[in-house]
Structure 1
Amino acid sequence: MVKTVSFIILVFLGSMQSAFFEVEPLETKDSTVVFSSESFLKIKGKTNVSSFECQFDMATISEAISISYKDYDKRIQFKDTKLTLPNLEFNCGGKAINRDFNELLNTEEYPEIILKLKEISKTKIDTGLITATIEITISNIVRTYTIPISIANNEGLHVSGVMPLDINDFNLIAPTKMLGMVKVSPEIEIQFSLKIKES
């Protein structure tokens, strides 16, 4: 009798373990999106005497971008969802500063910045925003950041946010001007406002 009861308990525990740990994997969903002409992405920074802003030409991203993701209860996990930004498509407002910008990014050797969307949390933080985990590659060095973003649903999705970066994290050396008197601050930020529609 004791053996029978023990056997029943073991079977029950085994079935409970299956219920908790053998969760059916989520199906991967695929989509393609395009950016509206109102979208923008820019890099902002400062020197010890002024500030600068380098705006990316969004018109160069004319093709639809593929998105692959799994939608969990509290997060959306993305697979190989990336935005490739050729360095030469940033305009900082003049030839000299454009040249300095591309010198900073080692454009001759590494001509692109790559942004990969890894995950979006569905849980709002204190500010009412949610968070996104983004992997960025600059000058062949990869770093991952989790930043607050805003998402609004108005004739498509409107995703906006600011990603602070330290150029020292990417081993970048800013050029100095006027015998070293003009120096670039290592703290820069990527600002983005992307209006997205499914294609």
Structure 2
Amino acid sequence: MIKTFSFSILFFLGAVLSTFFNVEELASKESVVVLSSESYLKIKGKTNVSTFECQFDMTTISDAIRIHYKDYNQSIKFTDTKLILPNVEFNCGGKAINKDFNKLLNTEEYPEIILKLKEISKVKHQNNTTTATIEITISNIVKSYTVPISITNDHNIQVSGVMPLDINDFNLTAPTKMLGMVKVSPKIEIQFSLKILKP
């Protein structure tokens, strides 16, 4: 299984670079980071009768993540910096809902969610917040989002945020239950809190 964890979430990498490596030149750079076991990434959604949460198994991300970037005045831009999330590593709390989740994502045909980090702004707002541009591939459809992220910097770096998605943007059709009376909302969220360590 590919150990290079792609969604997601890589929003944190810009903060790592500017804090740990103090890069100033426009030449292409390369480095690695490691995710702490305290990190999490989950997809949250709701139906017309309840809510659900599918959490990614972070223990599958044991290797260092290699990143490639250029540092500009206002932003850090990345090339080929991604996390690959196997759909089957999401646990929604039971076999039946896991099956529905994988049916929703067309796992048999497209077994992975791919998140590519494109850019992180250096412009800080209130409470140490900034923005990241993320390219996400679900069911072979690619969309880009600009996502607000918050950064906590103590001994290590911790980055957290919420990325709202509409499954209709990816041509996904949510399964229904009980003769169509239970329906999944097309609005979902990817929530993440990623603690970064130097390897």
TM-score normalized with structure 2 length: 0.85
Q: Any idea what SS the aligned residue of 1:33 has?
A: strand
Q: What CA distance in whole angstroms lies between the structure 2 residues aligned with 1:83 and 1:159?
A: 15
Amino acid at match of 2:84: T
Matched residue, 2:49: 49
Instruction: Please say which of residues 146-155 and 163-172 is displaced more in the overlay.
Output: 146-155
What residue identity is the alignment partner of 1:82? K
Match of 2:181 in 1: 181
Task: Kindly indicate whether residue 54 of structure 2 is the aligned counterpart of residue 40 of structure 1.
Answer: no
Tell me which residue corresponds to 1:80.
Answer: 80
Match of 2:6 in 1: none
CA contact (8 A) 2:128 2:151 kept: no
CA RMSD of aligned residues (A): 1.2
CA distance in 2, matches of 1:127, 1:154: 14
**What is the percent sequence identity of the aligned residues?**
76
Alignment partner, residue 124 of structure 1: 124
- Structure having greater relative contact order (Cα 8 Å, sep ≥ 6): 2
> How far, CA to CA, are the matches of 1:193 and 1:174 in structure 2?
26
Aligned to 1:7: none
Partner of 1:143: 143
Mind listing any 5+ residue stretches in structure 2 that lack a counterpart?
A: 1-24
The code of the aligned residue for 1:117 comes to: L
- Other structure's SS at 1:168 match: helix
How far is 1:157 from its partner?
Answer: 1.4
Is the CA contact (8 Å cut-off) linking 2:128 and 2:152 kept in structure 1?
Answer: no
1:157 aligned partner: 157
The count of residues paired between Structure 1 and Structure 2 equals: 175
**Matched residue type, 1:59:** T
The residue type paired with residue 57 of structure 2 is D
CA contact (8 A) 1:88 1:111 kept: yes
Could you tell me which runs of 5 or more consecutive residues in structure 1 were left unpaired when the two chains were aligned.
1-24
Q: How far off is 1:197 after superposition?
A: 1.3
Shift of residue 154, structure 1, vs aligned partner: 2.1
Q: Which has the larger radius of gyration?
A: 1
- Are residues 128 and 157 of structure 1, via their aligned partners in 2, closer, same or farther at CA, if it must alter by over 3 Å? closer
Letter in 1 for 2:86: P
Q: Which amino acid aligns with 1:69?
A: Y
Distance in 2 separating the partners of 1:49 and 1:192:
25
Please state whether the residue corresponding to 1:38 is helix, strand or coil: coil
Q: Which runs of 4+ in 1 moved over 2 A?
A: 124-128
